[in-house]
Every structure is written in C-alpha cells, then in structure tokens.
A = this chain, B = another copy of it.
Amino acid sequence: MSRELRHLKSLENARRILWEALPARLREGRFSGRPTAISEAVGLALVEDVICPTDLPPFDRSIMDGYAVRAEDTFGASEGLPAYLKLVGQVVMGEEPTISLSHQQTAGIPTGGMLPTGADAVVMVEHTQPWGEDTAEVLRPVAPGENVVRRGDDVKEGEIILSAGHRLRPQDVSALAGLGIAEVMVRRARVGVLSTGSELVPHTEDAPPGRIRDMNGPALQAAVRSHAGEPVDLGIVTDEPDAIRSALARGLTGVDLLLVSGGTSVGVEDVIREIIDSLGEPGVLVHGLAVKPGKPVIIGLVGEVPIFGMPGHPTSCLIIFRELVAPILRTECPERAGAQETVEATLTRNFASQAGREEFLPVLLEETEGGYAATPLLGPSALISTLVRANGLVRVPAAAEGLYAGDDVEVEPL
C-alpha cells in the first residue's frame, strides 16, 4: 500500500463511523416534518397521530336508494300483505331534509342522503311499489338501523385515525379528505446542496470562456428527489474561504443533511475541512476515502446535521451520494430504493486498478448472445459522454490489482 493511501478510510469504515455518529433521529428516518397537501404525501410518514376531528358520518345516512321509514311501521309487511305508508316528501342529496316523519309516514331518499327526523331505517326501492302519488307500498319489513349508517358509526370524534410513523397510501388520502384534513405533517429529508468553485456558473446560464456550468448541484438535487428527499438549493459560491464559510453556516439552518460539492482547486478541500471543524462539534469525522473515485470525500457532523464534502468530479460525486448519502435517505422510503440487484457480465477489456483502495468502475452493460458484456468507460477525457453512456458499475475490491478481459464481474445497473 502506498504511503498516500495509508491514512484513507475504506468505504466500509467510513460508513460505520458515519452511522455511529449519526443522530438517532436520522438513523431512524425521523426527518424534518413538513406540512404537505394530502394528495402529494403518498409514500411519506406521518410526524404525529391524526385524530378524528368529528363524528363520521356527521349525520345518519342512507346506504341505499329507497324510502326512509320508522322501522316499526314495516313490521309484518310482505308481498301478500304490504304496508302502505304516506309519502310526505323526498330527501334531496346534499340538503338537510326539512321533512319530519310521523307514524305511518315515509319519504323518498337517495343513497348517501341524510335521514329525516323520525326515520330510523331505509327500505330499498326494490322492496317497494308505487301506489298512487302520495303512497308507497312496502313489501318487506326492515329492522331499526337497516340500510342506515348512524352518525359516528364509522369513526368517532377523538379517535386516532392514523398513527405517527404511518406511511400514507391513496386510501388514507381518501379518509383524510373525508375528515376535511387537507394537509398533514410528513417526514421528508431536507437536503441542502451547495456547489463551490470560482469557475462555476449556474447551469441555466451561458458559461463565458474559462468557466463551466455547475453540474453537481442539479445532479445532487435530482438524486435527493429520487430518494424522496426535498433538495434545498444553496446555489454556488466561489472558492474563497469566507464565502464558503458563510454559505455553509447559513445552509445548516433547517436542513437534515448538507452536501457541498466541488473544491477541486488546490487547498479548497482543506478549507472546507477547517470550516466544518469550526462550525461545531464533533466536526470532521472522516477526511479521505480509499475509494476511486471519491478520495477527496469529507464526512462531518455539526450538531445534528451531517455535512458531506463531495468530490467535484460528476461521476465520483454521484457514486459517493449513492454509497454514503442515499442509505440515510433510504431509511425514509425503503420501497423506493431497495437493495441493489446485480447482473453477471463478462468484462471486455483489461482494467488496471491500484491495490489498497476500492474502485467503482463505470461500465457500458450490453446484452450479448450468451448473457451480458461489460465494457469499462474510462478517463477524464470523456466526462459527459461517460456519464450518459455508463449504465452499470463494477466494484473492484481494495485487494485487487485489476481485472482482466474475460473476467466474470458483478454489475450494479445504474
């Protein structure tokens, strides 16, 4: 192992150090609560119990089209000996009935209609026959409460409808809508994303000669979103220590995690390291990984907020996101980011690797007659083209000195 690799942590060690230092809140996915419209909250976990604010249904309702009755008036009715009830009105859907039923009276009622005062049951329309304009012929008896949902039968005021930690499903949205609860507090990781680099301009702007557009900011925001997190765009700052310091200090407020990418210029990595240490305890936990790409990674913790100094190289940056940041977000939404399945493939070219550090090799995975072929995509000379062509990653273990054409490799599809 070369001297320069000796102080670097393996990815596994770094992950262990990070996980042990991580506040329990984050380890368990208890991210910041955010008020969210119910129809946008599916898949997210509730911060607190949802209590039923009112009896449901809020009034006695019919569950059939038919006639509202006093059940006792139908006792003994049959096809041979129907009960004849005086039709005193019609309940209109969506309106509070003004009718009140006395002995031997009835009113037409639609499914979902509110039961008029005096009524305690509904006879299905199929079990009646018209008999003149103001009489209904009832052919079967009903018991009190039949074809009726009583106020509070469904849920009673004060009952817990959904418990804290429950992840919302469409049917829960339906229930919440019925209760008139339009917003809920759900857990969603807020992840600050800051890019540093005097050469950077926003990706929405033209880059004058000598400058380039920020790629890591938008890519990290996309990666956060695809793990159900909420990115907080902290913009771009120059490589000056004061600019970085104040952006990080500001960025710490109100986020669960903070990502700062860039720092490719000489010395900026150490500047970021010093700033993290100065912002609060415990400060930097890991500086430098025995991983290629990813050597310049910094992992810090300021109070309860983990800060990740991400590599400036776009591929490295996203690989480190995947290996170190995504597992934290995944605790929130496991079903959206399950364990990575691998594909077995045959390597098409030799690939030299430095022993002593783990390496992630972007490959082009292609189907062949016999199975899959993986072609290494290498070199800083193919930055964007590598990004878009790579559809797999091969992990080269730290002990290996390389891979050979014809080797069987496990490829994680990208």
Supposing A42-B226, A94-B211 touch, asked if A384 and B318 sit within 8 A by C-beta, the answer is no
Distance, CA A153 to CA B381, complexed state (A)? 6
Interface centre among A97, A226, A321, A388 (most CB of B within 10 A): A388
**Which partner residue on chain B sits nearest A56 by CB separation?**
B384
A39 at the interface (CB under 8 A from B): yes
Pick out which of these stretches binds chain B: A25-33, A134-142, A168-176, A242-250. A168-176
Q: Which residues of B are found within 8 Å of A200, using beta-carbon distances? A: 94
Determine which of B39, B58, B93 lies in contact with A198 in the assembled complex, contact meaning CB atoms within 8 Å.
B93
What sequence of 0s and 1s flags, for each residue 218-231 of chain A, a beta carbon within 8 Å of any chain B beta carbon? Answer: 11111101100001
Q: Which of B168, B177, B314, B388 contacts A203 (CB 8 A)?
A: B177
A251 lies within 8 A of chain B by Cβ: no
Contact flags (1/0) for A144-182 with B, using CB distance below 8 Å? 000001000111000001100000111111111111101
Closest to A262 in B: B112
Q: Which of B168, B178, B209, B380 contacts A63 (CB 8 A)?
A: B380
In whole angstroms, how far apart are the Cα atoms of A173 and B321 in the complex? Answer: 14
- Interface membership of chain A positions 82-124, coded 1 if the CB is closer than 8 angstroms to chain B and 0 otherwise: 0000000000111111000000000000111110000000000
Residues of B within 8 A of A179 (CB): 213, 384
Q: Does A208 contact B (CB under 8 A)?
A: yes
Known contacts being A40-B225, A96-B208, A222-B39, is A388 close to B177, with CB within 8 Å?
A: no
- A390 vs B213: C-alpha distance when bound (angstroms): 50
Bound Cα distance A172, B218 (Å)? 10
Q: Are A264 and B111 in contact (CB under 8 A)?
A: yes
Min CB distance A313 to B, Å, is 10
For the complex formed, measure the closest distance between the CB of A358 and the CB atoms of chain B, giving whole angstroms.
Answer: 20
Q: Residue A212 at the B interface, CB < 8 A? A: yes
A156 to chain B: closest CB distance in Å?
10
Known contacts A171-B315, A173-B219, A265-B111; is-contact A93 B199 (Cβ 8 Å):
yes
A33 to chain B, nearest CB (A): 19
Query: B223 to A170, Cβ gap below 8 A?
Result: yes
CB neighbours of A414 from chain B (8 A): 169, 171
Verify A38–B112 contact, CB threshold 8 A. Answer: no
Contact residues in B for A97 (Cβ distance below 8 Å): 210
Determine the chain B residues whose CB is within 8 A of the CB of A218 once the complex forms: 38-39, 173-174, 176-177
A17 on the B face (CB < 8 A) = no
Within 8 Å of chain B (Cβ to Cβ): is A256? no
30 contacting pairs across A/B (C-beta < 8 A): A38-B222, A39-B218, A39-B219, A41-B222, A42-B223, A42-B225, A43-B226, A56-B383, A94-B199, A94-B210, A95-B211, A112-B212, A113-B210, A114-B210, A125-B266, A149-B380, A154-B381, A170-B222, A170-B321, A171-B219, A172-B388, A173-B221, A173-B222, A174-B219, A178-B212, A178-B213, A180-B203, A180-B206, A182-B204, A336-B336
The 5 A-B pairs at the shortest CB distance, nearest first, are namely: A174-B219, A94-B199, A177-B203, A96-B209, A173-B222
